[in-house]
Structure 1
Amino acid sequence: MTNKATVSFRELCRELPVQTGLFSFGPVAIGLAQLWNGLVHGTTVSFHALFAIVMVAFAVLATRYHLATFRLDKLERK
Protein backbone atom coordinates (compact mmCIF):
# COMPACT_ATOMS: atom_id res chain seq x y z
CA MET A 1 0.00 0.00 0.00
CA THR A 2 1.57 3.24 -1.10
CA ASN A 3 0.20 6.61 -0.20
CA LYS A 4 1.68 9.73 -1.62
CA ALA A 5 2.18 12.42 0.95
CA THR A 6 3.30 15.69 -0.49
CA VAL A 7 4.99 18.07 1.85
CA SER A 8 6.09 21.61 1.27
CA PHE A 9 8.78 23.76 2.79
CA ARG A 10 6.02 25.90 4.28
CA GLU A 11 4.60 22.91 6.18
CA LEU A 12 8.07 22.05 7.46
CA CYS A 13 8.55 25.62 8.67
CA ARG A 14 5.16 25.58 10.36
CA GLU A 15 5.70 22.30 12.23
CA LEU A 16 9.44 22.52 12.95
CA PRO A 17 10.38 26.23 12.91
CA VAL A 18 13.55 26.05 15.02
CA GLN A 19 15.00 23.03 13.24
CA THR A 20 14.18 24.54 9.85
CA GLY A 21 15.77 27.84 10.80
CA LEU A 22 18.93 26.22 12.07
CA PHE A 23 19.50 23.89 9.14
CA SER A 24 18.08 25.94 6.27
CA PHE A 25 18.91 29.54 7.10
CA GLY A 26 21.73 29.20 9.64
CA PRO A 27 24.44 27.96 7.25
CA VAL A 28 23.52 30.61 4.70
CA ALA A 29 23.82 33.32 7.36
CA ILE A 30 27.18 31.93 8.49
CA GLY A 31 28.45 31.84 4.90
CA LEU A 32 27.37 35.43 4.28
CA ALA A 33 28.93 36.56 7.57
CA GLN A 34 32.22 34.90 6.61
CA LEU A 35 32.11 36.54 3.19
CA TRP A 36 31.44 39.92 4.80
CA ASN A 37 34.28 39.31 7.26
CA GLY A 38 36.67 38.68 4.36
CA LEU A 39 35.57 41.84 2.60
CA VAL A 40 35.90 44.00 5.72
CA HIS A 41 39.36 42.76 6.64
CA GLY A 42 40.71 42.79 3.09
CA THR A 43 41.72 39.14 2.92
CA THR A 44 41.45 36.85 -0.09
CA VAL A 45 37.80 36.88 -1.06
CA SER A 46 38.00 33.67 -3.12
CA PHE A 47 38.50 31.54 -0.01
CA HIS A 48 35.56 33.19 1.75
CA ALA A 49 33.37 32.90 -1.37
CA LEU A 50 34.18 29.19 -1.59
CA PHE A 51 33.25 28.78 2.07
CA ALA A 52 29.94 30.59 1.45
CA ILE A 53 29.18 28.33 -1.53
CA VAL A 54 29.89 25.23 0.54
CA MET A 55 27.62 26.49 3.32
CA VAL A 56 24.78 27.14 0.86
CA ALA A 57 25.23 23.64 -0.58
CA PHE A 58 25.11 22.20 2.95
CA ALA A 59 21.92 24.14 3.67
CA VAL A 60 20.30 22.77 0.50
CA LEU A 61 21.26 19.19 1.33
CA ALA A 62 20.20 19.48 4.96
CA THR A 63 16.86 20.98 3.95
CA ARG A 64 16.22 18.21 1.45
CA TYR A 65 17.07 15.61 4.10
CA HIS A 66 14.71 17.20 6.62
CA LEU A 67 11.95 17.40 4.03
CA ALA A 68 12.40 13.69 3.29
CA THR A 69 12.28 12.71 6.96
CA PHE A 70 9.28 14.99 7.48
CA ARG A 71 7.53 13.30 4.56
CA LEU A 72 8.24 9.87 6.07
CA ASP A 73 6.88 11.00 9.43
CA LYS A 74 3.77 12.31 7.72
CA LEU A 75 3.29 8.99 5.90
CA GLU A 76 3.65 7.07 9.17
CA ARG A 77 1.03 9.24 10.86
CA LYS A 78 -1.62 8.34 8.25
Structure 2
Amino acid sequence: MADPAYLVDDTVTCVVQVQGKVRDRLEVPADVDDDTLRELALASDKVVAALAGRGVRTVVVRAPRLVNVVPA
Protein backbone atom coordinates (compact mmCIF):
# COMPACT_ATOMS: atom_id res chain seq x y z
CA MET A 1 0.00 0.00 0.00
CA ALA A 2 1.36 3.43 -0.92
CA ASP A 3 1.89 5.96 1.85
CA PRO A 4 -0.26 9.07 1.06
CA ALA A 5 2.43 11.33 2.53
CA TYR A 6 4.75 10.38 -0.33
CA LEU A 7 2.15 10.98 -3.05
CA VAL A 8 1.93 14.74 -2.40
CA ASP A 9 4.37 17.01 -4.25
CA ASP A 10 6.31 19.30 -1.92
CA THR A 11 7.43 21.59 -4.74
CA VAL A 12 6.07 22.54 -8.15
CA THR A 13 7.61 24.27 -11.15
CA CYS A 14 6.31 27.78 -11.69
CA VAL A 15 6.65 29.25 -15.18
CA VAL A 16 7.55 32.95 -15.32
CA GLN A 17 6.61 34.82 -18.49
CA VAL A 18 7.52 38.32 -19.68
CA GLN A 19 5.44 39.61 -22.59
CA GLY A 20 3.96 36.13 -23.01
CA LYS A 21 7.32 34.41 -23.48
CA VAL A 22 8.75 31.97 -20.95
CA ARG A 23 11.78 33.59 -19.33
CA ASP A 24 12.35 31.46 -16.24
CA ARG A 25 11.16 28.49 -14.24
CA LEU A 26 11.14 28.51 -10.44
CA GLU A 27 10.88 25.57 -8.05
CA VAL A 28 8.46 26.75 -5.37
CA PRO A 29 6.55 25.12 -2.49
CA ALA A 30 3.14 23.81 -3.55
CA ASP A 31 1.44 26.05 -0.96
CA VAL A 32 3.18 29.32 -1.93
CA ASP A 33 1.02 32.46 -1.72
CA ASP A 34 0.57 35.06 -4.48
CA ASP A 35 2.65 37.80 -2.86
CA THR A 36 5.67 35.58 -2.24
CA LEU A 37 5.51 34.19 -5.77
CA ARG A 38 5.31 37.73 -7.23
CA GLU A 39 8.41 38.77 -5.25
CA LEU A 40 10.37 35.68 -6.33
CA ALA A 41 9.49 36.21 -9.99
CA LEU A 42 10.40 39.90 -10.03
CA ALA A 43 13.70 39.16 -8.26
CA SER A 44 14.73 36.58 -10.87
CA ASP A 45 17.83 37.60 -12.84
CA LYS A 46 16.30 36.38 -16.10
CA VAL A 47 13.16 38.46 -15.58
CA VAL A 48 15.20 41.56 -14.72
CA ALA A 49 17.23 41.05 -17.92
CA ALA A 50 14.06 40.56 -20.01
CA LEU A 51 12.55 43.77 -18.64
CA ALA A 52 15.71 45.67 -19.68
CA GLY A 53 15.06 48.60 -17.36
CA ARG A 54 11.38 48.97 -18.26
CA GLY A 55 8.86 49.32 -15.48
CA VAL A 56 6.20 46.76 -14.69
CA ARG A 57 2.59 47.53 -15.62
CA THR A 58 0.92 44.37 -14.34
CA VAL A 59 1.89 41.11 -12.71
CA VAL A 60 -0.63 38.29 -13.10
CA VAL A 61 -0.11 35.51 -10.56
CA ARG A 62 -1.79 32.12 -10.77
CA ALA A 63 -0.12 30.39 -7.82
CA PRO A 64 1.62 28.04 -7.79
CA ARG A 65 2.02 27.42 -11.53
CA LEU A 66 2.27 30.72 -13.45
CA VAL A 67 3.46 34.33 -13.18
CA ASN A 68 3.02 36.65 -16.15
CA VAL A 69 4.82 40.03 -16.09
CA VAL A 70 3.56 42.78 -18.39
CA PRO A 71 6.13 45.56 -18.87
CA ALA A 72 5.11 49.22 -19.05
TM-score after normalising by structure 1: 0.26
**Larger relative CO (CA 8 A, sep 6+): 1 or 2?**
1
Q: How high is the TM-score relative to the length of structure 2?
A: 0.27
Larger helix proportion, structure 1 or 2?
A: 1
By percentage of residues, which structure has more strand? 2
